[in-house]
Structure 1
Amino acid sequence: MLAFASAGMARDAKESIEADASTRQVAITSSFTGTEILLFGTVENSVQSSAGAGTYDIVAVVEGVPAPVIVRKKSRVGGLWINTSSMKFMPVPSYYAIVSTRPIDELAEPALLDANGIGFEHIRMVPRQTAWKESLDPAEVASFKEALVRLKERERLYVKSDFGVAFIGRSLFRATVALPPNVPVGPLTVSVYLFKEGKLLGQYKSRLTLEREGVERFIHEVALKKSLLYGLLTVAMATVAGLAAAFAFPRAM
């Protein structure tokens, strides 16, 4: 009876997710050219028969520190392209990478994706209301949101891979996320979600840290804490570079 009860409890155990990253800290130096973060994990109490069964879907999201963003729209006026309108958004992720076992919109209903900010179309982007404008046109807001995502994608700060997560067993999975050279320095939040038949079964969150090191860190700290010294050093370096160029390439008489 005891053995039978234990087996029943094991079958009734709910699936959950455990995950981690290959590193918790990334050093940003003057020679930083980008890197890749390996994400891996397991589905606890998996009922999946094989790696390719497709019982579960995994989504991993890596987000940078939120920051306000202004999006400007250019129009042709009098033969010139000039800024004719703009929209400022409340803080949005400065970096956003999403990898999944298949396209996001196939995993769950939009309301669930909206609630968790999963996918470019579901990131919370709230325009800042202006005092002189009582309401904003939804179509205009949607247009600026799409433009914001396009600009971030062009800068490689918003990236996605619809088939970037792969199961390597009944429960084990892995994925890689690329950090570009221009990734904003600061903490990164990693969220890994477990879906089954359109339902969110569980999630796991952790944090990575991007820190400046070496000369990069020294310059950053001097610029922030000793702005006058930083300005003088910059002028001195420019002067030395100019003199060196003058001696190296003297003007022909």
Structure 2
Amino acid sequence: MRWLLPFLFLALPAWGESVVLGLSQDEIAITTSFNGSEILVFGAVKREEPLPDGPELEVIVTVSGPSEPVTVRRKDKRLGIWVNTDAVEVDHAPSFYAVATSGLLRDVLRDTEDLRYRISVPRAIRSVGAPMSIADASKFTDALIRIRTEAEQYQLQENHVVVDEQTLFRGRIKLPAALNEGAYVTRIFLTRSGNVVADYETTIDVRKVGLERWLFSLSREQPFLYGLMSLAIAIMAGWGASAAFSLLRN
């Protein structure tokens, strides 16, 4: 069997490529006027040897927000009333997840590589341990993806990454206004013929600042005081609206 070893090494890809990455910003501040943001992901491919002959280089960019368990419920109409009937807990669901590619995802990534690196939106979500009484548990995950896709929290942006001369690449990821705090993991994958030949990972820090940060901390650390303040503001707003309406009538 030893005589086979040289041939096995020859069969392995020897691209010798790595990622040199840049980000337009590595910190995002959420304020009271925050209405979304956009991240420019750009970089280059570092090579120890000249560009090899063979399949074209493709690039995949993913940005993943903090993950948390999510309970997905199904409603059915019973006696004219919509009620919750079944529920499945999705164990691992990113609060935000975006995939941007230089081509169609099915063309630039093999399914086995997707399974290995969990790149596509469905693979980034993990749901196990559904009740045995629920035969269509996968539909709950599909529903979660559909709802968050409509809210732009889950995105698939095909042909949104530009690759120049198989060396330079750039792409944009749009972030919605409803962002959770935390570390947003950004991954870059270089692929050839659907196989991952190199990958790189970094993080973007998303934090609330100013009044938004103070209100968030108050609601978590002193909920009773936060409730009293909210009640007082509501009363003052109601009184102000009533007074303004009375002046307009007069």
Match of 1:31 in 2: 33
Paired with 1:228 and 1:143, the residues of 2 have a C-alpha distance of: 39
**Matching residue of 1:248:** 244
**Aligned position for 1:239:** 235
Secondary structure (helix, strand or coil) at the match of 1:32 reads coil
Contact 1:26 1:209 in 2 (8 A): yes
State the number of aligned residues: 234
| Cα distance between partner residues in 2 of 1:248 and 1:29 | 29
1:249 aligned partner, one-letter code: F
Contact 1:127 1:141 in 2 (8 A): no
Q: How far does residue 102 in structure 1 lie from its aligned partner after superposition?
A: 1.2
**In 2, distance between residues paired with 1:76 and 1:240?**
41
CA distance in 1, matches of 2:215, 2:148: 27
* Secondary structure of 1:194 counterpart: strand
Unaligned segments of structure 1, at least 5 residues: 1-11
Percent identity reads 26
- CA change 1:235–1:18 in 2 (3 A) is same
Equivalent pair of 1:114/1:124 in contact (CA under 8 Å)? no
The aligned counterpart of 2:21 is 19
Task: Give structure 2 stretches of 5+ with no counterpart.
Answer: 1-13
Give how far 1:220 is off.
0.9
Q: Which amino acid aligns with 1:247?
A: A
The aligned counterpart of 1:188 is: 184
Query: SS of 1:250's equivalent?
Result: helix
The 5 A counterparts of 1:1-253 are 14-45=16-47, 47=51, 55-130=56-131, 133=132, 137=135, 140-250=136-246
Pairwise CA distance, 1:136: 5.7
Supply the RMSD in Å over aligned alpha carbons. Answer: 2.3
The residue type paired with residue 162 of structure 1 is E
> What's the offset of the Cα at 1:13?
6.5
* Counterpart-to-counterpart distance in 2, 1:27 and 1:142: 36
Question: Does the 8 Å CA contact 2:57/2:166 hold for their aligned counterparts?
Answer: no
Is the CA contact 2:18–2:198 (under 8 Å) kept in the aligned structure 1? Answer: yes
Contact 1:48 1:55 in 2 (8 A): no
TM-score, with length taken from structure 1:
0.84
Q: CA deviation at 1:84?
A: 2.3
Most deviating of 76-85 and 167-176? 76-85
Could you tell me whether the CA contact under 8 Å between 1:48 and 1:171 is conserved in 2?
Answer: no
Shift of 1:66: 0.4
CA 1:33–1:54: 2 relative to 1, 3 Å: farther
**C-alpha contact (below 8 Å) 2:187/2:200 kept by paired residues:** yes
CA–CA distance in structure 2, aligned partners of residues 63 and 13 of structure 1: 28
Q: State the shift of 1:142 in Å.
A: 2.1
Q: Give the Cα separation in 1 of the matches to 2:229 and 2:129.
A: 39
1:248 deviates by 1.4
